[in-house]
Amino acid sequence: MDPTAIIDSYVADVVRHLPRRQRDDVALELRSLLDDELGGRAADAGRPADSALVMELLTAFGAPQEVADRYRPAGFTIIRPSNAPRFTWIAFGGVALIWAITLPAMMLGVIPVTGWDYGADTWWGRLSVWWLSFGIGALWWPGAVITYTLIGALVERRRESGPMAWTPAPPRTIDRDLVSRPATVAAIAAGVLGATVVIALPWLASWASIPEPAIEALALDPEFLQWRAPWVLLLWAADLVLYALVLIAGRWTVPTLRARSVLSLAMAVLLLWWSLAGPVFLSPVTDTTARLIFAALAVYAAVDAVVAFRRSRSTSRRTPSLV
């Protein structure tokens, strides 16, 4: 392998552990340093630089993540500096997601208030119940993430206590917009099957041999069936057409990504409407569970809409692995 390509691969592995604002400067400095060191070693050895000489240099220089840490010195920490942004998003994003689902559900009565007599029917009473239950309770998520990260850090420290050889990754281009046709076909089939089951729910009692309690639990509210449920058929049909186009093209394009963003946003609005506008099932227990699920799915659809839109705005549809 060409020595320059090996150094480029090494530098890319180092800078990917650093914040984006530092990467260009560090890459330039590190590449210059390695080129100088390699030239000195080649001169001392009395032979041109080759892959064996550059690998000897990089092995002595250290693993890429360790080199990245030299630019941000740190001892043993639970969270490496390079992983801090990702940890923050996972920890606080999880709390925000729990709050976004449970607070509206509690304030609108989707989650019943039990065991709280004083002010149970007022907004401040429901807010107090929410804060003392789901509000503070959501803080278990950052604790769980920290615990998992601590265990991972201890395992990684023990694993890295011995010498580890670094090998260069071959140059390649990752096209994240390509789709797997078999997987897309399976997804379309699963979607059609799921839609068929949901559409069949109103006629469940007439054609299926299901115990009466199950039928009562799955009985849909007539007003929901008449006014809110039919809109999902339009979105499902549009999704089916979109994924068929993606299947034919074999990849996501800017127009299909933007169509996906619009449809996901519309689905998020519809699911939120279902969750907040009134009962979906006649059974209170089933209805509460279903409306919480709809709220969670609405958040997921909204996130998917944002991700699809951001991808559609990318100026380059291909992302090189060695940057």
**Does pLDDT of 190 surpass 90?**
no
Place 210 in a pLDDT band, splitting at 50, 70 and 90: low
- Flag whether 76 is in a domain: no
CB atoms within 10 A of CB 288: 18
State whether 184 and 296 are in the same domain: yes
Residue % of the chain over a pLDDT of 90: 8
Whether 225 and 202 have beta carbons less than 8 Å apart is answered as: yes
Same domain, 313 and 183: yes
In-domain check, residue 77 = no
Residues 25 and 139 in one domain: no
* Residue range 244-278, pLDDT digits in tens: 888 888 888 889 999 999 999 999 999 989 888 88
- Provide the 3-class DSSP secondary structure of residue 317: coil
C-alpha span between 310 and 228 (Å, rounded): 30
pLDDT at 269: 93
Number of domains in the chain: 3
In this structure, is residue 121 part of a structural domain? yes
| β-bridge mates for residue 320, sequence order | 173
Same domain, 88 and 67: no
What is the reported pLDDT for 322? 35
Q: Are residues 64 and 93 in the same domain?
A: no
Within a domain: residue 170? Answer: no
58 vs 128: CA distance, rounded Å:
59
pLDDT at 17 over 90: no
Mean pLDDT of 169-182: 67
Between the alpha carbon of residue 59 and those of residues 7, 17, 55, 245, 285, the distances in Å are 12, 18, 6, 49, 62
Q: Is the pLDDT of residue 27 over 50?
A: yes
Tokens coding 213: 């309690």
Band of pLDDT at residue 194, cut at 50, 70 and 90: confident
**Is 164 domain-assigned?**
no
Find the mean pLDDT for residues 33-42: 86
pLDDT of amino acid 258: 92
Q: Can you give the residue range of the structural domain that contains 207?
A: 175-320
For the record, the structure tokens of 276 come out as 């907040």
User: Per-residue pLDDT averaged across 138-152, rounded?
Assistant: 83
Q: How far apart are the C-alpha atoms of 108 and 292, rounded to whole Å?
A: 12
Question: Of 96, 128, 159, at which residue does a domain stop?
Answer: 159
Nearest residue to 221 via CA among 302, 159, 301, 277? 277
Q: Mean pLDDT, the chain, as a whole number? A: 79
Q: Say whether both 102 and 232 belong to one domain.
A: no
Q: Do 153 and 185 belong to one domain? A: no
Cβ atoms of 280 and 287 within 8 Å: the answer is yes
Mean pLDDT of 296-305: 90
Q: Are 309 and 185 in the same domain?
A: yes
DSSP string across 158-212: HHTTS-----PPPP-EE-TTB--HHHHHHHHHHHHHHHHHHHHGGGHHHH----H
Per-residue pLDDT tens digits for 53-109: 888 888 888 888 888 877 775 555 667 666 777 788 888 888 888 888 888 877 777
Same structural domain, 66 and 188: no
Provide φ and ψ at 281, rounded to 5°: -110, 155
